[in-house]
Amino acid sequence: MYEIMSLPISREVFIITSKKIRDIALKHFSEFGYESTSLNNIAEEVGIRKASIYAHYKGKDEIFKTVLHHALRTEKAEIANYFTSHQHESLENILRGYFDWLKEESKNNECLKFLMRVVYFPPPNLRKETSDLVNPFLTEMYRHLSRFLREKSRVENMVFSNHYSSIALTFITLSEGCFIELLFAEEKSYEARVNAAFPIFWQGVHCD
């Protein structure tokens, strides 16, 4: 904040406008997809001419990649915050509660809604660029979850049926499988899938 305030006003406005373009584009990409998103519509909502966008970004591809970087960075922080803010609860409640948190986030979190679309429907012309950014994000989340499971098992004196890394991968696979229901079906279908699958997952990964 203080760095921006110390800049000349023209530079400050430039930065603010760039972020506004990014944020409006995020909503449009999330709602309409890459191909149906119009720079004209983005510019209109921002309150500038379409030509003015090119003072901030080279074009639609660069805007998309900027939005993707922003969404991944934001969602990484949101997921980390979920686990940190619930760390004093039991591991079972934390993992089960993640699905409820995910459901609510999918309604109101523009970054998550954008990533939901991008992961399964990347722009054909940016498929590799998208994959190169998304895959490291998923790998990092897997590693963080593995460490979290190891630490929680020590605190709660739990014995797992498999290695932390295998359980983390299983949980991510389960959450992704249920998550698809939020994309292609109704919320009730998602809840039914979670309610059926999670107890089996939990029974299978920890030893009494």
Report which residue type is found at 79: I
Residue 190 contacts residue 178 (beta carbons within 8 Å): yes
- The confidence score (pLDDT) of residue 207 equals 66
- The confidence score (pLDDT) of residue 81 equals 94
Residue 193 contacts residue 178 (beta carbons within 8 Å): yes
Average pLDDT of the residues in 167-191:
88
Biggest distance spanned by C-alpha atoms of the chain: 64
CA 37, CA 63: separation in Å to the nearest integer?
Answer: 11
Tens of pLDDT, residues 50-80 = 999 999 999 999 999 999 999 999 999 999 9
- The confidence score (pLDDT) of residue 2 equals 38
- The confidence score (pLDDT) of residue 8 equals 52
Query: Percentage of the chain surpassing pLDDT 70?
Result: 95
Both tokens of 111, joined, read 């970054």
Q: Give 187's pLDDT tier (boundaries 50, 70, 90).
A: confident
Q: Give 3's pLDDT tier (boundaries 50, 70, 90).
A: very low
Where is pLDDT greater, at 12 or 3?
Answer: 12
pTM of the entire predicted model: 0.86
- The confidence score (pLDDT) of residue 123 equals 92
Angle of helix 60-85 relative to helix 110-120, nearest 10 degrees? 120
Residue 31 contacts residue 41 (beta carbons within 8 Å): no
Tens of pLDDT, residues 127-178 = 999 999 999 999 999 999 999 999 998 888 888 888 889 999 999 999 988 8
